[in-house]
Amino acid sequence: MTLAQKSEPEKIDGDTPTMRLFSLLEVIAEKDQTFSLQGLVEETGLPKPTLHRMLQQLESVGVLQREGDARHYTTGVRLRRLAANLLINNTHHGARRLVLRQLVEEVGESCNLTAFTGSEVVYLDRMETAAPLRFYLHSGSRVPAHCSSSGKLFLAQMSPAQRRRLLAHMPLTKYTNKTEDDPAKLERELETVRRNGYAIDDEEFLPGLLCVAVLVPSSTGRSNLAVAIQAPIMRLTHEKALHFLPALQRAAQALAVIEADASPPSETKP
């Protein structure tokens, strides 16, 4: 599909440089791996010199960044920050916070809402417990996917091919002596997570911290939102985490309703 074809349904007036850059970013946003100039030429149908100039413009302002081989590109810090801010500052942010607040009141521990970006988990929102001992991670914080409860959920719902490709290039850093850094063992754990419908981080990212998470259901069948409970192990054991699952699942269902209400209504054809 070319950029021109992509913009036709929207009936954009004029073929301005700004709209071309925006259309190019739409193409780039759909990618789950690095991309090259030649690959974009073949995909968009734009002349190579034109596309090269556009990539240079986006790279110069931090929207894109070039990989070590100088031939491939990926999203830059500025574009990722924009995406995170859009997720954080949406119009139904208040409704989400109400659900998290109710969950905190029910379980007595800190709760957070997360999304998956690149190879990391980003905190979209978080409500703290009133308990004096707690781990503080603010909205916008990022944690690795392979050793966080939310991250394991996001990885588990990927297709095997997509997950293998991501894990092959993602460093499985060992943050504690409980972090799983063996790809084969992690793959087996993710299969268990997929069957169970929940994931637990038992001191795998931070010593003394236990988390349990479930995905927020999505009408598309694949979710990019998860809700989690997080607490020190002296208050939250593995058994207690499982006891909290019904409350966590109710919160996930409530968040799913909010997400569905925020989605634009489907157009009715005459």
- Residue range 112-133: mean pLDDT, rounded: 87
Same domain, 103 and 43: no
pLDDT digits (tens, 9 = 90+) for 30-70: 887 888 989 888 888 888 898 899 988 888 888 898 887 77
The pLDDT, as a whole number, for residue 7 is 35
Same domain, 136 and 212: yes
The CA distance from 126 to 228, in Å, is 9
CATH of residue 43's domain is 1.10.10.10
Same domain, 67 and 96: no
Q: What angle do CA 255, 112, 199 make, to 5 degrees?
A: 90
Average pLDDT in the chain: 84
Rounded to 5 degrees, φ, ψ at 27 are -65, -45
pLDDT digits (tens, 9 = 90+) for 233-251: 999 999 999 999 999 999 9
Same domain, 134 and 18: no
The pLDDT, as a whole number, for residue 17 is 81
Same domain, 255 and 139: yes
The pLDDT, as a whole number, for residue 78 is 87
Given pLDDT bands bounded at 50, 70 and 90, which one contains residue 118?
confident
The CA distance from 144 to 149, in Å, is 10
Same domain, 71 and 93: no
Same domain, 9 and 113: no
The CA distance from 23 to 32, in Å, is 17
In a domain, 210, yes or no: yes
Higher pLDDT, residue 193 or 12: 193
Given pLDDT bands bounded at 50, 70 and 90, which one contains residue 8?
very low
Given pLDDT bands bounded at 50, 70 and 90, which one contains residue 12?
very low
CATH of residue 140's domain is 3.30.450.40
- Tell me which of 75, 98, 122 is where a domain ends: 75
Q: What angle do CA 108, 214, 184 make, to 5 degrees?
A: 125
Which residues 6+ apart lie within 8 Å of 237 measured at CB? Answer: 210
Domain count, the chain: 2
The CA distance from 197 to 157, in Å, is 10
Same domain, 45 and 96: no
The CA distance from 100 to 127, in Å, is 6
Give the lowest-confidence range in 21-25, 134-138, 191-195: 134-138
89 pLDDT higher than 60: yes
- Tell me which of 29, 49, 75 is where a domain ends: 75
Q: What is the percentage of the chain residues whose pLDDT exceeds 90?
A: 42
Same domain, 110 and 236: yes
Which one-letter DSSP state was computed for residue 232?
Answer: E
pLDDT digits (tens, 9 = 90+) for 197-221: 999 999 999 999 999 999 999 888 8
Q: Which amino acid is at 62?
A: G
269 pLDDT higher than 80: no
Same domain, 36 and 95: no
Same domain, 8 and 59: yes
Same domain, 62 and 106: no
In a domain, 267, yes or no: no
13 pLDDT higher than 50: no
- Residue range 175-195: mean pLDDT, rounded: 94
The CA distance from 99 to 123, in Å, is 15
